Amino acid sequence: MVELETQQGVEKLFFELASESRLSILRKLDRENLKLTDISRGLDITPTETFRQLQRLTDIMLVAKLPEGSYGITPVGKLVVRLACPLELVFKEREYFLTHDVWRLPSRFIETLGALSGATLQVEIIDAINRGLAVVTEAEEYFWGMGESLGFTDSAAVITKQASRGIKFRFLGSIHGARPSQSPPIAVSRGFEVKNLNDIPAIVLLNENMAAFSLRSVNGKLDYTGFFGEDPVFHDWVKDLFLYYWEKGNRL
């Protein structure tokens, strides 16, 4: 068995981060440089224990002692904090990811799933539908949507009202082999941009401030439960995902 002292791979990193206090120190230093006493008081651990944990983080180059005596996170430490975010999210919301299929998404979006950390997971379907409808009703500039149906049956009246206010709409959906003449009851001539895409991996709802993202369940159904929020990082991630699929769609 390889001794810990000789480990050079990621197992050493995981071992060193397998401590709540070391992770907490790393997160604190990611926000600002701190002296040992400030870290000790902030985490309610003894100065001796704080020094020991700082030394371990220093040894693996995640933390460095600065000339003025405080401690700061290194560029490597910042990378570790950022790259740990997707793992933390997946573990925190593991029940959702056990029952929903993330593997339909392109790898670059899976690798940046940590962006969902700033959103709220809504698992009650009725509440999720209501929050999704709020993305439409609270739009002031634009509303973009991606889903299985091009009809928007349940929210057609709301969308028509919003369109009369000058809100710009884009919708990407699947008509499942239907002829273009059978597609949406909402007229494209009213300023809507509509595209067809046969393989829709998720529901995406987006306005200038809010976003919603719902994966298909593992049995292939879209069940509306998912992530909602106004966090800018989450919003940009959802926007990039929509635009990725929008470019693949066929205009009707």
What is the per-residue pLDDT across 166-199, written as a single tens digit (0 to 9) for each?
A: 888 999 988 654 444 444 444 444 568 889 998 8
Output the six-digit token pair for 87. Answer: 């793992």
Least trusted range by pLDDT, from 91-105, 139-153, 160-174: 139-153
pLDDT in tens, 27-69: 999 999 999 999 999 999 999 999 999 999 999 999 999 999 9
SS (H, E, C) 171-233: EEECCCCCCHHHCCCCCHHHCEEEEECCCCCEEEEEECCCEEEEEEECCCCECCCEEEECCHH
- Mean pLDDT for 3-10 is 55
Q: What mean pLDDT do residues 123-142 have?
A: 91
Rounded mean pLDDT, 202-208: 95
SS (H, E, C) the chain: CCCHHHCCCHHHHHHHHCCHHHHHHHHHHHHCCECHHHHHHHHCCCHHHHHHHHHHHHHCCCEEECCCCCEEECHHHHHHHHHHHHHHHHHHCHHHHHHECHHHCCHHHHCCHHHHHHCEEECCHHHHHHHHHHHHHCCCCEEEEEECCCCCHHHHHHHHHHHHCCCEEEEEECCCCCCHHHCCCCCHHHCEEEEECCCCCEEEEEECCCEEEEEEECCCCECCCEEEECCHHHHHHHHHHHHHHHCCCEEC
User: What CATH fold (topology level) applies to the domain 4-82?
Assistant: Arc Repressor Mutant, subunit A (1.10.10)
Tell me, what amino acid is at 185? P
Domain extents in the chain: 4-82, 93-251
Looking at 22-26, 31-35, 189-193, 246-250, which range is the least confident one? 189-193
Q: Which of 145, 150, 154 is nearest to 210 (CA)?
A: 145
Architecture of domain 93-251: 2-Layer Sandwich (3.30)
